[in-house]
Amino acid sequence: MDAAPGTMARATAGIEAVEVKQTVAAHAHARALAVLGLQPQEALWRRLFFYDTPALDLHAGGVVLRARSTAGEPDDSTVKIRPVDPIRVERWRGVPGFKLEADIVGTTVIRSASFTSRQGGAEIDAVARGERSIAKLFSQAQEAFLRALAPTPVELAELLPLGPVHVRRWQVRHAGLPHRVCAEAWRMPDGGSLLELSIKADPAAAAAASAGFSGFLAELGIAVREAPEAKTRTALTSLVAASQR
């Protein structure tokens, strides 16, 4: 859905939160980290695993299955569906772990619904080693969510564990912007990298926040990609290629 100001209100109607995202141009990664004062030793480290078919059929259908291990925090697993009509997920509103969000990526608004559950220590790694089934990572409630919203049935036993992708994450305040900036640097298995900067905004102020964020980055001289690169798609493509070597 286009993110033009005239359509923003409709695009974010019924949404709980909006995240405005920009992908930093490859040649500008070092500058972005420097001007925002982001130091490697201050980053929060994460490892991400995804579960899909070799042809990435789930992702093609708007389904993302992910597990996440974060330093100093409980592990978790997430089922995400995008795009989604808010009307279809009314029954999950208020359920712990459920989120209904909109991402503004470049000039596009993408609405998504996700359901996250905690995981015990070492369970994600056990699945990666083939010692536990992928199904063990997702609760009955998550599987019900998946069955209700996935465009086609998902057979968890037929999926591949893909990962990890190593992520460094920072959150920083800057005098030139009223929003806190989140930065995520993803390192792909093929050695490639992706740096995304984002802010969270109230849905009612999404259009102004998006314009303000673009202006803020331009003022700092941080070049962004005109065609933003989707983190998850880039990671999945790299992970599948690595699994086939």
* Mean predicted confidence (pLDDT) in 165-185: 97
The pair phi, psi for residue 126, each rounded to 5°, is -65, -40
Domains of the chain: which residue ranges?
Answer: 5-243
115 and 142 in contact (C-beta within 8 Å)?
A: yes
pLDDT at 11: 77
pLDDT tens sequence across 58-93: 999 999 999 999 999 999 999 999 999 999 999 999
How much of the chain exceeds pLDDT 70, in percent?
Answer: 97
Residue 2 DSSP label: B
Q: How far is it, in rounded angstroms, from Cα 133 to Cα 126?
A: 9
Residue 12 has pLDDT above 60, yes or no: yes
DSSP 3-72: --HHHHHHHTTT-SEEEEEEEBPGGGHHHHHHHTT--GGGSEEEEEEEEE-TT-HHHHTTEEEEEEEETT
Residue 135 DSSP label: G
Class of domain 5-243: mainly beta
Residue 207 has pLDDT above 60, yes or no: yes
Residue 233 has pLDDT above 60, yes or no: yes
Structure tokens at 19: 């995240």
* Mean predicted confidence (pLDDT) in 161-166: 96
pLDDT tens sequence across 88-113: 999 999 999 999 999 998 778 999 99
